[in-house]
Amino acid sequence: MNGKTVIPFGPQHPVLPEPLQLKLVMQDEKIVEAIPAIGYVHRGLEKLTETKEFTQNVFVIERICGICSFKHALAYCQGMENLMGIEVPDRARFLRVIWGELHRMHSHLLWLGLLADAFGFESLFMQAWRDREKVMDIMEATAGSRVIISTNQIGGTRRDISPEMLAKIVDVVNDVKEDIERVEKVFCNDYTVKHRMVGIGVLSKENAKLWGAVGPMARGSGIAEDVRTLGYAAYGELDLEPVVETDGDCYARMKVRLRELYQSIDLIKQAIAKIPEGPINVPVKGNPNGEVISRVEQPRGEALYYMRANGGKTLDRLRVRTPTFANIPTLLKMLPGHHLADVPILILTIDPCISCTER
């Protein structure tokens, strides 16, 4: 092999929370090529949705991913609502924004912790997860569970949030904001962090477009693309600007996620200030018929759902294109030319969610 070595990275690796395998073809310390191998956590959930009633599918779909379960359910519910012509009550649309942004916050805080762990900054990792716990507690107090909150249903939401609880959410997010400001200083200014991130894995704007990067990957390279700006749920009535950084390196992608935390806090406060009174769901009548595409912005980027129904209780087909699936090609193109020691950071900055990808 002309002095080339193949080093398997994963599926078990300290920085990987989920099993992704990359076969790294190395020339000395530099990567020449990366060959992915996925399929370690395939659970056949897409097939399972064809055997369950379309209303039950919400629970199945939430289990595609633990971290962005609410967003998956949201994509499915919005698609089915469009297909069946259901008008969702205003209060439910705002509740969806509040829970959705809480989910983005806990996902990004989790990611920041994992990133700190990847470059060996244990105390920073603990700090980020400590702050995340406040968001998780709010989730459990409002929805009943920490991660798979099961509050979406076709036609609205299953639970309401009381005015006292809404006030408490504002207090908690303000509190979390102070915490984030403290860790942000470390993430943005620390010598160790900068040394590991600045100038590593540069993705130009043209390449990000060419390879189909989504979410914080694309926004870190200067593409102002955010599905939320299309105004689904109640995002249309809230003040929202996509967070964009132009450098395109790992540091820029981290800054995008840090700034998105502030954006989420702002959106939650806006939604709580504007939330109207009224019902939270409408009954679903009849069965779906036809096909529909639904898109939402998840913490990791844009997720695309395709559903086809035939007028019966079950769906003919459900297909999910998750953000990590879209970002893996970009990762493979970015890896060649980098040192082996930079691989964990590069893999983490796409925020891989392999459970999503393999479903």
Partner 1 sequence: MFDMIGNIFKNLGTKPATRCYPFEKREPFEASRGRVKGIEIEKCIFCGICSRKCPADAIRVDRNAKSWEIDPFKCVICGACAEVCPKKCVIMDEAYTQPTTAKDKLTYVQAAKEESQSQAG
Site for partner 1 in 246-275 (CB under 8 A): none
Alpha helices in the chain (DSSP H): 45-49, 57-62, 69-84, 90-118, 122-143, 163-189, 191-197, 205-210, 216-220, 250-274, 323-334, 343-349, 354-358
Q: Could you give the count of Cα atoms lying within 13 Å of 100 in the half-sphere of its Cβ? A: 27
Nearest residue (CB) to partner 1, 175 versus 206: 175
**Binding span for partner 1 by CB under 8 A among 106-114, 170-178, 185-193, 258-266:** 185-193
CB of 89 to partner 1, least distance (A): 18
Site for partner 1 in 44-73 (CB under 8 A): 52-53, 55-56, 59-60, 63
Q: Determine the size of the site formed for partner 1 (CB under 8 A).
A: 30
Nearest residue (CB) to partner 1, 143 versus 296: 143
Cα–Cα separations (whole angstroms), residue 126 to 104, 133, 187: 19, 11, 13
293 touching partner 1, by CB under 8 A: no
Q: What angle do CA 357, 358, 359 make, to 5 degrees?
A: 100
Helices (H) and strands (E) in the chain, counts: 13, 8
Among 78, 142, 264, 324, binds partner 1 (CB under 8 A): 142
313 touching partner 1, by CB under 8 A: no
Give the 3-state secondary structure of residue 3.
coil
The site string for partner 1 over 106-135 (x = CB under 8 A, - otherwise) reads -----------------xx--x--x--x--
- The separation between the first and the last C-alpha atoms of the chain, rounded to the nearest angstrom, is 35
User: What residues line the site for partner 1 (CB under 8 A)?
Assistant: 52-53, 55-56, 59-60, 63, 123-124, 127, 130, 133, 137, 140-145, 150, 158-159, 182-183, 185-186, 189-192
